[in-house]
Chain A
Amino acid sequence: MSGIPVWAQLIYLLAAVCFILALKGLSSPRHARRGNAVGAVGAVVACVVVFFYGHLHHVPAILVAIAVGTAVGFVGARRVQMTQMPQLVALFNGVGGGAAALVALLELADLLDSSGDSSGAHVAKFTLAATTFTILVGSVSFAGSLVTFAKLQELMTSRPVVFRGLPVAFALSLVAAVVLAVLVVTQPALYLGAILAVVGLLLGVLLVLPVGGADVPIVISLLNAFTGLTVAAGGYVLDNTLLLVAGTLVGASGTFLTKLMASAMGRSVVNILFGALRGGSTLGAGVASDRPVRSAGPEDVAILLAYAHRVIVVPGYGLAVAQAQHTLRELVDLLGERGIKVDYAIHPVAGRMPGHMNVLLAEAQVPYEQLREMDDINPEFKQTDVVLVVGANDVVNPAAKTTPGAPIYGMPILHADEAQQVVFMKRSMRPGFAGIENQLLFDPRTTLLFGDAKDSLGKILSAVKAL
């Protein structure tokens, strides 16, 4: 910690506090934006400071590179649609991990240079270990995030990609990575570090390929934690406490979120990552049943809704795909004006990443007070007249409670089946992501409204207006 002047270290401390405040601000939607701004200021100040004490060379080139990155990041962040948020987060996470790995590679070169002889015998083993960790995990995070991005952006199939020999390939690369890592620490050489980075990339790809589309959110969260820890280790290598604190905060938060998400799906993280490898497919039979269902037109649904006292809306990703959030919000507002109490029940894994559905509805200007968490709203389904399920399926499937052996058994669900009436808006009888049939669809209290969500909601809206 000797290379950095005290005043700069104090500013780093301040920046670390800014980061903590940024995360703390997220405990309430009202203060969250200010918190984020505080964090951004901390980050910028910390980066400016380094130019004043660092005696850096190549400053103009560095400034140009920052300008390029800033422009790309800014435009990407402004342009992205809210439905594409998971991809963007994956991408940003990946480039962060990639940057950390490159930094560690350069630092390895520097460590070997400064130790006089290139054998690196004088470099502290602990520093080498941290460098190695950063190179390896940073590369895993980079490649893994890019594959995740490709899956979400539908540049490639979102189904689990499993080929014969994949488990073997994964195991071999894992062994190779460990051996190389040990070699870099014991007999440091730059070329070994570079090979380690390549193996890391391979490992990242193989890790994410077998993960199915529905489980990708958990992978994003996990890779986020990886990148955080990489940055923390990089902080140790570079003698920089700010990087250590910031990286650790992110690592802890990412790990925490990953566990939270996994338990919201009723599965373990290991099962999500390696479930497809073990062969125990998470897909059910997926046979569309020809059992009778009760379907109705938009006018019938409008009457059902307009004369209810209590309505709960269960939105799913299908809503966002149909871009029907705004129409839904209009309908809910209209029902509200008729004196009907309407809330949105948000399942923790609704959407494509944790909390995604909330963002999509907030974009449609739904006040966040109407967005209710699962545990909070579940007791209220019993007193609810109509539950309107739009573009969701698995999160209200009672099989999670009643059918041991079902792929989603044990997953906490929204208790829509306890309401008086359930209206499903669906495009077809196709099962949800988990590929299993939903018994609730065949329940006598259930009405189905087939068609595009936006279209149907528009029709219901005008029908309610006409009443």
Chain B
Amino acid sequence: MSEQVVWLTIFVLSIFVGVEVISKVSSTLHTPLMSGANAIHGIILLGAILVCGYAQTTAQLVIGLVAVVLASVNMVGGFVVTDRMLQMFTRRKPARSKVSR
């Protein structure tokens, strides 16, 4: 099996896993789903770290660092805000007293 075919296999199977998993999400949680999926594509941070680590010129390094900053905003912000939303859904009893603000 050529390497391209291995990649294609992973790609196609991931599509099915993605659709399968997401079709089970209740529409109540569609906003956290979007922001959670958003956080997951923040994993491009991994790629940004790699290209930065192999940068040979200053220009490459600067562009790479910009990519690292952007990707970490995406990843960290995405997971934190998703957690904030989901926290509101997991609260079982409506508290009478205001939690914040």
Query: Counting CB contacts under 8 A, is A73 at the interface?
Result: yes
Contact string, A370-412, partner B, CB cutoff 8 A, digits 1/0?
A: 0101000000000000000000000000000000000000000
Taking the nearest CB of chain B, how far is it from the CB of A180, in angstroms? 19
User: Which chain B positions have C-beta within 8 A of A57?
Assistant: 53-55
Given pairs A61-B65, A92-B73, A95-B73, 5 additional interface contacts (CB within 8 A): A66-B69, A96-B74, A110-B51, A248-B14, A354-B33
In this complex, what residue of A is CB-closest to B43? A246
In this complex, what residue of B is CB-closest to A18? B40
| Contact indicator A85/B85 (Cβ below 8 Å) | yes
| Contact indicator B41/A359 (Cβ below 8 Å) | no
User: Which chain A positions have C-beta within 8 A of B37?
Assistant: 23, 224, 228, 249-250, 253-254
| Contact indicator A103/B47 (Cβ below 8 Å) | yes
B interface, CB within 8 angstroms of A: 3-4, 6-7, 10-11, 14-19, 21-56, 60-61, 63-95
Give residues of chain A (326-380) contacting chain B, Cβ–Cβ below 8 Å: 329, 333, 346, 348, 351, 353-356, 358-359, 362-363, 365-368, 371, 373
Query: Counting CB contacts under 8 A, is A5 at the interface?
Result: no
Query: Counting CB contacts under 8 A, is A282 at the interface?
Result: no
In this complex, what residue of B is CB-closest to A28? B26
| Contact indicator B55/A73 (Cβ below 8 Å) | no
Indicate whether A105 sits within 8 Å of B18 (C-beta atoms), given known contacts A72-B77, A73-B73, A110-B54.
Answer: no
| Contact indicator A106/B55 (Cβ below 8 Å) | yes
Taking the nearest CB of chain A, how far is it from the CB of B44, in angstroms? 5
Rounded to whole angstroms, the CA-CA distance of A265 and B71 in the bound complex is 32
State which of B52, B75, B79 has its C-beta within 8 Å of the C-beta of A36.
Answer: B79
In this complex, what residue of A is CB-closest to B75? A43
Which of the listed residues A29, A69, A367 has the most CB atoms from chain B within 10 Å of its own CB?
A: A69
User: Which chain A positions have C-beta within 8 A of B15?
Assistant: 248, 251-252
29 pairs of residues in contact across A and B, judged by CB atoms under 8 Å: A23-B33, A32-B32, A33-B83, A36-B32, A39-B40, A59-B53, A65-B52, A65-B66, A69-B73, A70-B73, A73-B73, A73-B77, A76-B73, A76-B81, A88-B35, A92-B78, A93-B41, A96-B75, A99-B70, A102-B66, A106-B51, A242-B46, A244-B10, A249-B17, A252-B18, A355-B33, A362-B88, A367-B92, A371-B28
What is the total of A-B residue contacts with beta carbons within 8 Å?
373
| Contact indicator A359/B10 (Cβ below 8 Å) | no
Rounded to whole angstroms, the CA-CA distance of A314 and B73 in the bound complex is 36
Which of the listed residues B47, B80, B85 has the most CB atoms from chain A within 10 Å of its own CB?
A: B47
User: Which chain A positions have C-beta within 8 A of B11?
Assistant: 232, 244, 248
Rounded to whole angstroms, the CA-CA distance of A40 and B36 in the bound complex is 9
User: Which chain B positions have C-beta within 8 A of A313?
Assistant: none
State which of A47, A82, A241, A252 has its C-beta within 8 Å of the C-beta of B49.
Answer: A47
Indicate whether A62 sits within 8 Å of B77 (C-beta atoms), given known contacts A33-B87, A249-B18, A353-B34.
Answer: no
Taking the nearest CB of chain A, how far is it from the CB of B35, in angstroms? 5
Rounded to whole angstroms, the CA-CA distance of A248 and B67 in the bound complex is 20
| Contact indicator A249/B60 (Cβ below 8 Å) | no
Query: Counting CB contacts under 8 A, is A321 at the interface?
Result: no
User: Which chain B positions have C-beta within 8 A of A235?
Assistant: 47
| Contact indicator A54/B47 (Cβ below 8 Å) | no
Contact string, A21-41, partner B, CB cutoff 8 A, digits 1/0?
A: 011101111101100110110
| Contact indicator B25/A27 (Cβ below 8 Å) | yes
| Contact indicator B70/A95 (Cβ below 8 Å) | yes
Query: Counting CB contacts under 8 A, is A189 at the interface?
Result: no
| Contact indicator A61/B52 (Cβ below 8 Å) | yes
In this complex, what residue of A is CB-closest to B86? A33
State which of B14, B39, B77, B93 has its C-beta within 8 Å of the C-beta of A39.
Answer: B39
| Contact indicator A244/B88 (Cβ below 8 Å) | no
Indicate whether A96 sits within 8 Å of B28 (C-beta atoms), given known contacts A58-B52, A103-B47.
Answer: no
User: Which chain B positions have C-beta within 8 A of A99?
Assistant: 44-45, 48, 67-68, 70-71, 74
Rounded to whole angstroms, the CA-CA distance of A250 and B11 in the bound complex is 12
Contact string, A169-186, partner B, CB cutoff 8 A, digits 1/0?
A: 000000000000000000
4 closest A-B pairs by beta carbon, nearest first, are: A56-B53, A69-B72, A252-B18, A73-B77
Indicate whether A19 sits within 8 Å of B40 (C-beta atoms), given known contacts A58-B52, A70-B72, A249-B18.
Answer: yes
Rounded to whole angstroms, the CA-CA distance of A19 and B21 in the bound complex is 11
Contact string, A243-268, partner B, CB cutoff 8 A, digits 1/0?
A: 11111111111101100100000000
Query: Counting CB contacts under 8 A, is A191 at the interface?
Result: no
In this complex, what residue of B is CB-closest to A351? B31
Rounded to whole angstroms, the CA-CA distance of A365 and B63 in the bound complex is 44
Rounded to whole angstroms, the CA-CA distance of A240 and B39 in the bound complex is 18
